[in-house]
Amino acid sequence: MCGSALIMEPDLSFLDAPDFALPSYFAPHEDLAVPEMGDFLLPPNESPKAFHDRIAQDPHTRHVMDFAKGTTTLAFKFQGGVIVAVDARATMGGFISSNNVRKVIEINDYLLGTMAGGAADCQYWEHYLAILCRNYQLKNNEKISVAGAASMLANMVAQYKGYGLSMGTMVTGVDFSGHHLFLVLDDGTKMEGTRFSVGSGSPFAYGVLDQGYRWDLTLEEAVQLGRKAIYQAGHRDSMSGGVVRVYHVHESGWTCLIQGEDLMHVHDEEMNRKGMVGFDDEAGLIAPS
């Protein structure tokens, strides 16, 4: 009609589906079936999970889902919010495939996720979580809580337990009830805590965190604590390294404070502080006199 326009309301009825939190094109017991593994054919009337569990007990069977992985990610709460610090190294066994991987996934403007384990698994599920959080906001006209987002991720991956997912993620952010930090694992485990570290370098990171953590840290102290913990993990763990990235979750959302600082620069800074410049190159066995 001339002079007027017909405004159509968007059709969001698909959000009412009871299984909207799952990919509509995925059926775990069909799409993830294992037709064959090595010389073993999938027996009739045996589920893929039962088949995988049975042959996993055979020491002569190559475990196609067992792959080497390593990283260091950490996050902790303090009086000023939450600090998230990660390294950036991706490895394929003993091969370093990248030193510049972004292991903090920006879910939206108030939620962050970290990735440890299989990069593809973490990226897929956390990016899918971002879509579901946006759908929730459109449907309910309000933002999902941090606990709700963590529960959604945990519920999704729990349905694939035993199928080879490799995820050790943290979900953190701020909502109407304050700052929150959750650990979500690939078996559907979800727990809230004050500080977590995930990855092969986490023992070294925990050593630094346990020594320097206080609730009343200033923002600068908290940033330096996270930065130093990632440096020590990268220095001692061969599967961690590259650059360090630090994010701060605060009452307005999150801010990236360190975009990507080379860990070798942090190492040089530490050596200067200790008066040990050149010590790494000169240290060696002393010949007996």
**CB 28, CB 160: distance < 8 Å:** yes
Helix H or strand E encompassing 104: strand 104-106
Does residue 67 sit in helix, strand or coil? coil
The residues spanned by each domain of the chain are 73-274
Q: Which two tokens stand for residue 113?
A: 């996720």
**CB 88, CB 261: distance < 8 Å:** no
Tell me, what's the pLDDT at 24? 52
Is 71 one of the catalytic residues? Answer: yes
Q: Which two tokens stand for residue 9?
A: 């309301």
Q: Which amino acid, residue 50?
A: A
Per DSSP, 167 falls in state B
Give which of 213, 144, 204 is closest to 180, Cα–Cα.
144
| pLDDT digits 0-9 by tens, 27-69 | 554 444 444 444 445 556 666 667 666 666 665 554 445 566 7
Does residue 262 sit in helix, strand or coil? strand
CA 211 to CA 107: how far, in whole Å? Answer: 31
Q: Choose, from 61, 71, 172, 218, the residue flagged as catalytic.
A: 71
| pLDDT digits 0-9 by tens, 6-34 | 555 666 665 565 555 555 555 554 444 44
Q: How confident is the model at residue 162 (pLDDT cuts 50, 70, 90)?
A: confident
CATH topology of domain 73-274: Glutamine Phosphoribosylpyrophosphate, subunit 1, domain 1 (3.60.20)
Tell me, what's the pLDDT at 12? 61
CA 17 to CA 286: how far, in whole Å? Answer: 72
